Structure 1
């Protein structure tokens, strides 16, 4: 099923095209993005061996499958629902990287506290967990959809 409008087709093409690069950028942002704001604590190496690789594997596997599926479609693009899920995943992961607090000798805080001051560090801690859980959940949903869509499309065409 093709997206009905031109903006939807553009969204579907863009989401399919950026899915592989974003599968690498997003885990990097979550792992070490805080360093660009002077927040460099103990979570950077911990995320580098835990959350970053797990999320990268999930997102990259889904992105490769989405790109292969998108190349087989005319016009090129991911299905509309998958495109919105990808966009949502990028927003959630971006928010998680923005709010996740880090603590250490050199730099403590979050991107939010680096921008708005240490008074908001408590808000960062409160918001990071839900965004992190939602990021992982949506990444798994995107992965499942990426592998189920071709089978669903074939069943619908029979």
Structure 2
């Protein structure tokens, strides 16, 4: 005699959520906001602190659009497929990229009259050296993780549920056939 609270089987008509489904769903929802907010922060963040200089338009024309495109592709491709959300691995990698993007917005150095990084404008000229030293590693990590997250998201969503399963031997044997084998992900 067991009570209904001890039942481990789901009720008829319901499905058990996959491992990490909540994390994937919330990361994807938050990701759409971050995909726009972080490039905007890198492009116009220094205008808010009066530390804009000669390199601000360069950052707005290069770093911001690249991160925006990579983030949108990483979130949009699984949404159009059966997976609906990026895999847990892709979400984790994208979160690392977005955190580095936020930090990069604080540390990007600039040149010209009255220009500095946002961190330098807030913490004073003593923080300029630290900001300049952190900006290159943060930028490299951000771009590497954004590219990796985009690729992992597309590859994992091709398998249906976005759980990141490996391809089996029959799928590997089928590679190289068809009209566009490289695009067959």
Asked whether the two chains share a fold, i.e. TM above 0.5, the reply is yes
Distance 2:140 2:126 in 1: 24
Distance 2:160 2:34 in 1: 25
1:82 aligns with 2:90: yes
In structure 2, the partner of 1:148 is: 155
Question: How many pairs are equivalent?
Answer: 149
1:30 aligns with 2:42: yes
On the 8 A contact 2:39/2:64 being kept in 1, the answer is yes
Gapped regions of structure 2 (runs ≥ 5)? 1-16, 169-185
Cα offset, 1:156, TM superposition: 6.1
Gapped regions of structure 1 (runs ≥ 5)? none
Cα offset, 1:152, TM superposition: 4.1
In structure 1, the partner of 2:178 is: none
**1:60 aligned to which of 62, 72, 86:** 72
Cα offset, 1:89, TM superposition: 1.1
* 1:69-128 C-alpha deviation (Å, 9 max, x unpaired): 5xx44xx643222221121111111111111111222x3111111221111101110100
Distance 2:108 2:166 in 1: 42
Cα offset, 1:67, TM superposition: 3.2
Distance 2:146 2:166 in 1: 25
Higher relative contact order (CA 8 A, sep 6+): 1
CA 92–66 in structure 1, closer or farther in 2 if over 3 Å, else same: farther
Distance 1:40 1:85 in 2: 30
On the 8 A contact 2:51/2:121 being kept in 1, the answer is yes
In structure 1, the partner of 2:18 is: 2
Aligned-residue Cα RMSD (Å) equals 2.4
1:93 aligns with 2:104: no
On the 8 A contact 1:14/1:77 being kept in 2, the answer is no
Distance 2:78 2:104 in 1: 24
On the 8 A contact 2:87/2:153 being kept in 1, the answer is no
